[in-house]
Amino acid sequence: MSLVKRLAYVEIEASDLERWAVFGRDVFGCELAEDSTADCLKLRIDARPWRIMLSRGSRDDLKVIGLEVADRASLQTVCARLEGAGYPFRIATAEECAARNVYEMCLLTDPAGIEVEVSYGALQQPQRPFCAGVGHGGFITGDQGLGHLMLVVEDPRRVQQFYSDMMGFITSDYVSTKNYGGLAGDFIFMRCNPRHHTLAFGRLPIPRRLGHLMLQVNRIDDVGLTLDRVHAHGFRQTRSIGRHVNDNMFSFYVESPSKLQFECGWGGLEVAPDDTDIKLFDVTSVWGHKHL
């Protein structure tokens, strides 16, 4: 069993928050949180205060990954593992916890240099139901968390070992392909709940940590409607509609205002608890997902 239960949130440092508001609200159907400001945009996709934070800055890349454990005992176990393995961390202040709307958390940096926050006691606001920015059937979150991340790292095996040993992530499968948009690609996919993968790692020739962020919708039609809005608002589709070989996700990809890829998906595989076989694939998709 994984100590980490789900991906709770991400923070992205972005230079064009005005265009991000259009991308998040008018294209993907997120709700702009009421406490968003000119320098900090917060996107809601369920009854939590926010799931994606865009803070103004020049990085135009992933800044923080927020992971969630069940309780204090689980957080203490993560901290003990980090300490035993010699990874530095610190317990967040009350002010830092309040900013993330969590009860308690620890802060650390993973072997790839990515800032990670591990917390429990996330604020729930059922009295403020999610209200999509456009007609929308909502997103799959709950026990499966925000979605999934593909991270670009120099040493995928080392990062895999860290998330396995420190956090309890489980390896779902590997993809080793000679044709990932004309390039060779080796990817590792790891899960912490029924979602086929919450984190994936690969080494790619792009100058960013975030390969892509996937948001999963409840209705297949919202994939098509989102794609229509991508083109209506002048964003660039980067991969055609297709079906992934490992998680069965029916999806397409689009370039965000920070040049980061977002995937809009439906129908993702949920892995049974007793399915412990690690698989290997030599393509990323059964069909489609052509690089555009």
CB atoms within 10 A of CB 263: 22
Question: Percent of the chain, pLDDT > 70?
Answer: 100
Q: Is pLDDT above 90 for 201?
A: yes
Q: Which of 170, 212, 179 is nearest to 282 (CA)?
A: 179
The average confidence (pLDDT) of the chain is: 97
Say if CB 66 and CB 199 are below 8 A apart.
no
Residue 74 makes CB contacts below 8 A (sequence gap 6+) with 3, 120
Burial of 187 (0-12, 13-18, 19+ CB in 10 A): buried
Cα-based distances in Å from 158 to 59, 161, 261: 25, 5, 24
What pLDDT is recorded for position 100?
Answer: 98
> For the ranges 81-95, 166-180, 187-201, which has the lowest average pLDDT?
166-180
**pLDDT band with cut points at 50, 70 and 90 for residue 65:** very high
**pLDDT band with cut points at 50, 70 and 90 for residue 181:** confident
Say if CB 53 and CB 9 are below 8 A apart.
yes
To the question of domain 142-288 being in CATH 3.10.180.10, the answer is yes
Burial of 267 (0-12, 13-18, 19+ CB in 10 A): middle
> Please, what's the b/e burial string for 128-163 (b: 16 or more CB within 10 A of its CB; e: otherwise)?
eebebbeebeebbbeebbbbbbbbbbeebeebbebb
Q: Which of 263, 32, 289, 268 is nearest to 149 (CA)?
A: 263
What pLDDT is recorded for position 182?
Answer: 78
User: Which tens digit of pLDDT belongs to each residue from 137-157?
Assistant: 999 999 999 999 999 999 999
Q: Is pLDDT above 90 for 219?
A: yes
Q: Is pLDDT above 80 for 183?
A: no
Match 């409607």 to its residue by tokens.
Answer: 225
- 205 compared with 253, residue with greater pLDDT: 253
Both tokens assigned to 55: 């803070």
**pLDDT band with cut points at 50, 70 and 90 for residue 233:** very high
Name the DSSP letter for residue 66: E
Q: Is pLDDT above 90 for 178?
A: no
The two beta strands, 237-244 and 285-288, are antiparallel
What pLDDT is recorded for position 248?
Answer: 97
Candidates 3.10.180.10, 3.40.50.170, 3.90.640.10, 3.30.70.1450; correct CATH number of 4-120? 3.10.180.10
Q: Is pLDDT above 80 for 179?
A: no
- Sheet with 115-120: strands ordered across: 31-32, 40-44, 52-56, 4-14, 61-69, 115-120, 104-109, 89-91
Give span(s): CATH 3.10.180.10, the chain: 4-120, 142-288
User: Which tens digit of pLDDT belongs to each residue from 102-115?
Assistant: 999 999 999 999 99
Region 42-50: mean pLDDT is 98
**pLDDT band with cut points at 50, 70 and 90 for residue 118:** very high
Q: What are phi and psi of 129, to 5 degrees?
A: -60, 150
Region 115-124: mean pLDDT is 98
CB atoms within 10 A of CB 248: 15
Say if CB 268 and CB 247 are below 8 A apart.
yes
Question: What distance in Å separates the CA atoms of residue 9 and residue 118, rounded to the nearest whole number?
Answer: 10
Say if CB 168 and CB 6 are below 8 A apart.
no
Match 């176990």 to its residue by tokens.
Answer: 77
Cα-based distances in Å from 44 to 101, 130, 133, 286: 13, 7, 10, 32
Both tokens assigned to 158: 């080392």
What pLDDT is recorded for position 180?
Answer: 80
Cα dihedral 125, 129, 131, 135 sign: positive
